[in-house]
């Protein structure tokens, strides 16, 4: 995607090692909080490479970001727009619109975005308040497995651009959001397939007047780069003759694998005994909380030869693991992370 600027979604993994490397590689950064902005600045980025991409911000955090030099802000409501107009005057703003996202493994609800009709009015209002009505953003859902899902939202953005133009407001940026997948149990289309589908959709809806483009990969950039190692703590059956074994690990929903919620993200699992006969297992974490079950319905199988003390690995665990862990539920410490 040669015309698209990358804003790394810091929330996926804010490790200083990752931020520093991305600063060197020329990336920009999508941040969710003042704390993330400070982390990115500490990693060496200049503030012009930072987007304050959360649509839910305290006004004092907007004011502080503005002091730090940040000039790019997301919003999706009149209330948030007023805060930005007051505390970050003259900044570039983009309005997030609601899109229906299907076929995403971690879909986004209606929590973010407003109706396109409202976005039109809010961006018009932004221009009237001395802000730079920069453009539109949307999100097609995290771990989006269908590259065609961008088309609808891009079409809606183009329609808003036309309506804004008729009002004399020159929007010029489309923020394509996140959604690029990591490689979990199912194969995913290569990044080139996403690039092609998005480029075609942009051309279809904008013709030869392509606006600036931003994309905000998080999982898609760092997900496949991480491995989570767990120790088998217990292998148990609930009654004599049970066909399904319970395998309990020292990591679970509360210390690293929160995205197994509702069995949404299905990690690939490697064991030191792969290659021999396998049998059905239920995988669970170590806490005394019964919601700390990773996979019960997903049909995972592990080797019959698996033993207590074995180390197993969850692949593609680089995103939404370290910071999703709790501060110490059940006394278990947060997971240790190493960057190599």
Q: Point out which residues pair with 95 in neighbouring strands.
A: 75, 136
Task: State how far the Cα of 18 lies from the Cα of 337, in Å rounded to an integer.
Answer: 12
Q: Of 79, 95, 101, 288, which one is the catalytic site residue? A: 288
Distances 268 to 219, 228, 233, 312 between C-alpha atoms, Å: 15, 11, 19, 10
Q: Point out which residues pair with 52 in neighbouring strands.
A: 31, 73
Q: Is 239 in the site for its own copies (CB under 8 A)?
A: yes
**Residue 224 in tokens:** 């496949």
Other CB atoms closer than 10 Å to residue 67's CB: what's the count? 11
Single residue of 331, 336, 338, 340 touching its own copies by CB under 8 A: 331
* Min dist. Cβ of residue 121 to its own copies (A): 8
| DSSP per position, 190-235 | -HHHHHHHHHHHHHHHHTT-PPEEEE--SHHHHGGG-EEEEEEEEE
Nearer to its own copies, 13 or 27 (CB): 13
* Pair 222, 319: CB distance under 8 Å: yes
Nearer to its own copies, 60 or 204 (CB): 60
Interface positions, 100-159, toward its own copies (CB under 8 A): 106-115, 117-118, 121
At 99 the three-state DSSP class reads coil
Task: State how far the Cα of 317 lies from the Cα of 324, in Å rounded to an integer.
Answer: 12
Nearer to its own copies, 83 or 205 (CB): 83
Q: Is 13 in the site for its own copies (CB under 8 A)?
A: no
* Min dist. Cβ of residue 111 to its own copies (A): 5
The site map against its own copies for 250-279 (x = CB under 8 A) is x---x---x--x------------------
* Min dist. Cβ of residue 29 to its own copies (A): 12
User: 288 an active-site residue?
Assistant: yes
Nearer to its own copies, 168 or 331 (CB): 331
Q: Is 68 in the site for its own copies (CB under 8 A)?
A: no
Interface positions, 296-325, toward its own copies (CB under 8 A): 296, 308, 322-325
Interface positions, 179-218, toward its own copies (CB under 8 A): none
Nearer to its own copies, 98 or 169 (CB): 98
Nearest to 257 by CA among 292, 225, 287: 292
Nearer to its own copies, 294 or 315 (CB): 294
Task: State how far the Cα of 29 lies from the Cα of 11, in Å rounded to an integer.
Answer: 10
Q: Is 284 in the site for its own copies (CB under 8 A)?
A: yes
Nearest to 246 by CA among 294, 185, 287, 291: 294
Listed ranges 85-93, 152-160, 182-190, 232-240: which one lies at the site for its own copies (CB under 8 A): 232-240
Q: Is 32 in the site for its own copies (CB under 8 A)?
A: yes
Q: Is 56 in the site for its own copies (CB under 8 A)?
A: yes
Residue 36 is inside which H or E element, if any?
A: helix 34-42
* Pair 88, 71: CB distance under 8 Å: yes
* Min dist. Cβ of residue 248 to its own copies (A): 4
Catalytic site positions: 288
């Amino acid at each position: 995607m040669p015309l698209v600027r990358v804003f790394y979604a810091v929330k996926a993994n804010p490790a200083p090692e990752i931020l520093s490397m991305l600063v060197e590689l020329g990336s920009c950064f999508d941040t969710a909080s003042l704390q993330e902005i400070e982390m990115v600045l500490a990693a060496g980025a200049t503030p012009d490479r930072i987007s304050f991409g959360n649509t839910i911000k305290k006004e004092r955090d907007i004011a502080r970001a503005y002091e730090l030099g940040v000039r790019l802000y997301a919003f999706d409501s009149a209330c948030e727009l007023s805060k930005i107009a007051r505390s970050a005057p003259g900044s570039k703003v983009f309005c997030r619109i609601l899109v229906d996202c299907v076929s995403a493994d971690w879909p986004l609800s209606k929590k973010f975005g407003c109706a396109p009709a409202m976005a039109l009015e809010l961006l018009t209002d932004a221009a009237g308040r001395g802000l730079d009505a920069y453009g539109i953003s949307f999100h097609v859902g995290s771990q989006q497995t269908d590259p065609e899902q961008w088309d609808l939202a891009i079409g809606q953005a183009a329609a808003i651009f036309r309506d804004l133009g008729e009002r004399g407001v020159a929007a010029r940026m489309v923020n394509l959001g996140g959604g690029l997948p990591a490689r979990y149990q199912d194969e995913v289309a290569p990044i080139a397939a996403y690039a092609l589908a998005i480029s075609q959709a942009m051309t279809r809806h904008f013709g030869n007047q392509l606006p600036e483009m931003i994309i905000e990969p998080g999982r898609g950039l760092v997900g496949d780069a991480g491995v989570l190692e767990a120790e088998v703590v217990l292998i148990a059956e609930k009654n004599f003759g049970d066909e399904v074994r319970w395998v309990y690990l020292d990591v679970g929903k509360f210390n690293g694998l929160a995205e197994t919620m509702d069995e949404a993200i299905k990690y690939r699992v490697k064991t030191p005994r792969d290659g021999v006969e396998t049998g059905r297992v239920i995988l669970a974490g170590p806490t005394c909380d019964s919601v700390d079950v990773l996979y019960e319905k997903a049909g995972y199988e592990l080797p019959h030869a698996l033993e207590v003390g074995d180390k197993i690995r969850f692949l593609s665990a680089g995103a939404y693991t370290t910071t999703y862990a709790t501060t110490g539920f059940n006394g278990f410490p947060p997971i240790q992370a190493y960057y190599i």
